[in-house]
Amino acid sequence: MASELEELRSKILGLLAKGPVLTIDAAEALGKDTTQTAAILDYYVGQNDITKTERRYGTSSVYYLKKDVDTALTKLYPLLNNSEKALINKVKTMKVVKTEDLLPSERYISKSLGDFLKTVAAKDSDTGKRMDYVYYYQLSLDDVKTFLNGEQEKESTSQTHQKQPPKKEQAGLRLQKRAKLSEPVSEEIKNMLFGHGFSSVTRLGQDIYQCEYGPNRLRTVVIIAMKPGLTKRDFIRFSGYSASYKTVVFVITGAKKIADYSEYGSTINIIRVM
């Protein structure tokens, strides 16, 4: 019995050394039916010799060696729907996200994306409370710790200082930016935003505001785009705000023609007005 198991183990490891497989692939290689093969593969998963995905490819998990995790998930990714892909891309861009900062729909979706998105509990530097964070699977826990400790912000600040424009130009840019941000938000704009459930309005730029939204007071970016149509280029710009401020973007618009933006999932949300 022991020699038979060792022989099976050797065959399975040899098979997976060529890349991730499905149950049916392993069944053909082992000369057994799929039910027996699934049981054998799961046994070696339990022994930590091999790994399998939580998400299924059809009726089978994807079995792989740890070194081939990227290849295994590349096999699964095309099967995901647009909302799932958008959430994965959002977390990949932001690297680490507080679970409470995700939309309720995103929190629900994330539960079925355990292969791509991992969860860790850590102390929030602002409140001192332990919070749950979601991070992209390619990050190590050390990467997550570094991110949460603000090391990446320090690096970004250092890079910014290295590329500063001349002092006179800096002063001009500061005065120009200060003048725009100091302009009060009109009552008309406030009423529009309040009417759609936003609060605590702060101007970020021309027709761009940072607001709180929903019962959890999620910090969001709201863009007012009153134009005949929204193009792919507009959505690329909108996604830039999502990445920069690490949050979702709401676009209030009266546009009649709107380019397809399904690839962004719940990262960009359209609010139509007449």
- For 17-38, the pLDDT digits (tens) are 999 999 999 999 999 999 999 9
What value does the mean pLDDT take over residues 191-199? 89
> pLDDT-based confidence at 167, cuts 50/70/90?
low
Q: Rounded CA gap, 82 and 68, in Å?
A: 24
Q: Are 16 and 63 a contacting pair, CB within 8 Å?
A: yes
Under the banding of pLDDT at 50, 70 and 90, the label for residue 88 is very high
CATH classification code of 180-272: 3.40.1340.10
Q: What values do phi and psi take at 219, rounded to 5?
A: -75, 120
Tell me if residue 270 falls in helix, strand or coil: strand
25-46 CB burial, b ≥16 within 10 A, e <16: bbbebbeeeeeebbebbeebee
| Amino acid type, 232 | K
Higher per-residue confidence, 129 vs 78 = 78
Helices and strands, counts by H and E, the chain:
11, 12
Highest mean pLDDT among 39-48, 102-111, 124-133, 241-250: 39-48
The owner of tokens 């590329």 is 163
User: Residue 158: pLDDT above 60?
Assistant: no
> What residues have CB less than 8 Å from 86, skipping those under 6 apart?
263, 264, 265, 266, 267
Q: Which helix (H) or strand (E) holds 199?
A: strand 198-205
Residue 224 pairs in a beta bridge with: 252
d(CA 54, CA 271): 35
Write down the mean pLDDT value for the chain. 84
The third-level CATH classification (topology) of the domain covering 2-77 is Arc Repressor Mutant, subunit A (1.10.10)
pLDDT at residue 156, rounded to an integer: 46
Least confident of 53-57, 103-107, 189-193: 103-107
> pLDDT (tens digit, 9 = 90+) per residue, 110-153?
989 999 999 998 887 667 788 899 999 999 998 888 888 874 45
Residue 30's contacts (CB-CB under 8 Å, 6 or more residues apart) are 8, 11, 12, 37, 40
Residue 48 pLDDT > 60, yes or no?
A: yes
pLDDT of 10 strictly over 60: yes
pLDDT at position 202 over 60: yes
| Residues 6 or more apart whose Cβ sits within 8 Å of residue 182 | none
